[in-house]
Amino acid sequence: MLKPGMILDERYEIVDVVGSGGMSIVYKAKDHRLKRYVALKVLKTEFSSDANFVSKFRVEAQSSAGLTHPNIVSVFDVCEDEGFHFIVMELVEGITLKEYISLNGRLNMDQAIDFSIQIASGLEAAHENHVIHRDIKPQNIIVSKNGNLKVTDFGIAKAATSNTMSTTGMGSVHYISPEQARGGYSDERSDIYSLGITMYEMVTGRVPFEGDTNVSIALMHIQNDIIPPRQFYPDIYSSFEKIILKATQKKPERRYLTASALIADLKRVKANPNIDIIVAPQGVTNAPTQQFTAADMQAIKNGSAVKNNSSLNTFESPKPYEEKQSSVPQPGSERLNQLLSDEDDYEDEDDYVTPQAPVRRTGIKKVEDDYDEDDYDDYDSKRSSDDVDPKLEKAIMAAGVAVAVIIAVIVFIVFGNIMGWFKFGKKTTETTEDPSATEEQQMVPMIDVTGYSQEAADRLLKEAGFTNYTFEIETNEEVEANYVIRQSVDKGEMITTDQELIIYVSGGAEKVVIPSVVNLTNDEATALLESEEYGFKVKHSFEANDEIEKDRVISIEPAENTEVAKGSTVNIVISNGPDVKTVAVPKVTGISESAAKSSLEALKLALGNVSHENSDTVEKGLVIRQSIAEGTEVNEGTSVDIVISDGKKEVKYTGSVSGSISISGNSQEAIDYINAASSVTVEVYLNAGNATYTLYQNTLTGATSFPLSVSGSEQNLSVSEGTVSFRVIDNDTQADITSYFTSSLSSSFSPQ
């Protein structure tokens, strides 16, 4: 599993996990290039390691990337990074339709029709682009916060199917079409079947088929008839029920052939719920996409083909709250083998018998008389004569003859009784009153009302003649409120009609008040909500917040102090800390310090430390370099240090003079003159650049002072060359007598 902060493809930063499925994990991620949040669907390891699957998956995902529709989650890209294969998709804030139904229960008619139109519209756009979903189910439909629906996961089912044996059926088994269950060819009508099952769940809150194994449920899709939704809830529009039954026909050719045709009927029902939609009479768990093995498919093909009348056409009332709907037919019949060997060899439509017996609704029974059989009368009257099975015509004729014979017999018996031929109804002996016999005649078997609503149970008990019964309310987390949990006398027990009976009715789950968890840490809040006192199922979502510290609770839904059923699902929103924006660092080299500061502050960055150094290439006063390179993504408020040029480095030199000064040619005249003077002053100069420096000065008496050794130096010179000169002054007359002397002076320069 990827961790928050990891970056894929040098672009997508993982923020958090938002969901997980059978083949992938979905993450919320930040696209740093386009500055937006996206969803990354990352394939799990067992699929990513299969090169054949990945290849087909990429092709299918790329084809679905061409779909653009308001009711389809947009696919932006298909990527791979360091062994992780993932799809980049539009991020839709919301929950799955499965979660929506779980939280809100079955949908009302208007909402169910609106949701159905939106899903069908998404499928219509996909089918027009020759893309078949193959795994339509509530888990693959997202309900956004604004109520819009978006279909997701296009391409994955087909990619998985193409990577398996031809006998592999893909799709979630509770929503799988018969042809997919057979491992046969699937097309647009397979999506319509799965949508029909989804609509069924929207209006009833349950799926039509449940079983112990995937194989048993698949067999039900192939051979069992769907119980009409109105047997559970009579308030469902008859017209909408007929749409559902048509969409879920066993034969693909008997369903809606296109999503467009389905949408047209849905809109007609939305405009006028009482409209007569003529259709052929018919036919959860958070299930991941199922991948049937060859063994599973063989088990289906080995299943019984004989349609057990008790399981198909006559429904025995199942036990209250039992987990499974019906048993799987036993192996050994040739009929199912025939059904499974030929994809087009479906049961004949005229053999269909609409099931009428009471059924359960997650353990809740429905009184048989509440079902309106007239919903299909119009259909039968309007079928063309070409659709009538000759066998059915013969059966009708035989039934007519039988009825005529029965009527004739009844007339004969009545007439014979009047004429005295028979003695029906005449007593020949007196009846002996036997108290014990009378008491025995008043004993009746107790009926079963568990699973019925309190109102229905009350009516059934009255109809059965029971007079001494009371209802007691009990808290129950498993049974819906107002439905019977159990009864004080078991079904079938012989009792009198006035025996005291207690009928225990569910008051629903225990109610608790959502505690205050805002500002608690994620761990503290989760522990409190999941404690024995509350027993909530906790979901988490994350968002940025400038006020709440990271990893602490921002809010909870439902809100604090709301009274809800104990064990309900609650969602806590956790803070990711401030929503820090990132910016690209600008180029500030080559500009002045003040200009660099303005450029950084314009992007909400700060000027950090400013230092100076010499540069042979950058003009004095301009920025030589910056601490963070141009174009680097950093958080707003980040400081950037700069270095300012002081220009070229100035080198200082030390100038030195050395040598000697002598009397010119040892001239006697010069010697006499020097000896006659009271003293002379000797000065030695260094001429460097535009300046003259006196490096030596001495006052001497007499000619014997010569030759004179001279040395001297001057520091901090800005030049590295110069000339040497000297002068001799008669201190008595201040006359320049330099001409009486010669020198061997030289200069040198060395850098300091």
Q: Active-site positions?
A: 135
Cα distances (Å, whole numbers) of residue 183 to 136, 187, 292, 300, 381:
17, 12, 9, 10, 36
Please count the CA atoms within 13 angstroms of the CA of 325 that sit on its side-chain side. 26
**Cβ distance 288 to 172 under 8 Å?**
yes
**Following DSSP, what letter does each residue of 77-122 receive, concatenated?**
EEEEETTEEEEEEE---EEEHHHHHHHH-SPPHHHHHHHHHHHHHH
Token pair 């519209």 in the structure block, residue:
121
Query: 155: alpha, beta or left, given left = phi > 0 and alpha = psi -120 to 50?
Result: left
* Helix spans in 387-508 (H): 390-418, 435-441, 454-463
Q: How crowded is residue 635: how many other Cβ atoms within 10 Å of its Cβ?
A: 12
Contacts of 335 (CB under 8 A, 6+ apart): 304, 305, 306, 307
Which residues, in sequence order, are CB contacts of 503 under 8 Å at separation 6+? 449, 454, 457, 461, 469, 470, 471, 472, 484, 487, 488
Tokens of 121: 């519209």
Q: Which two tokens stand for residue 101?
A: 């139904």
Give residue 282's identity as a one-letter amino acid code: Q
Q: What span, in angstroms and rounded, lies between the C-alpha atoms of 522 and 572?
A: 8
For the chain, helix, strand, coil in percent to 5 are 30, 25, 40
State whether residue 463 is helix, strand or coil: helix
The residue among 239, 221, 87, 229 whose CA lies nearest residue 155 is 87
Rg (CA), the chain: 50
Vertex 557: Cα angle to 554 and 563 (nearest 5) = 125
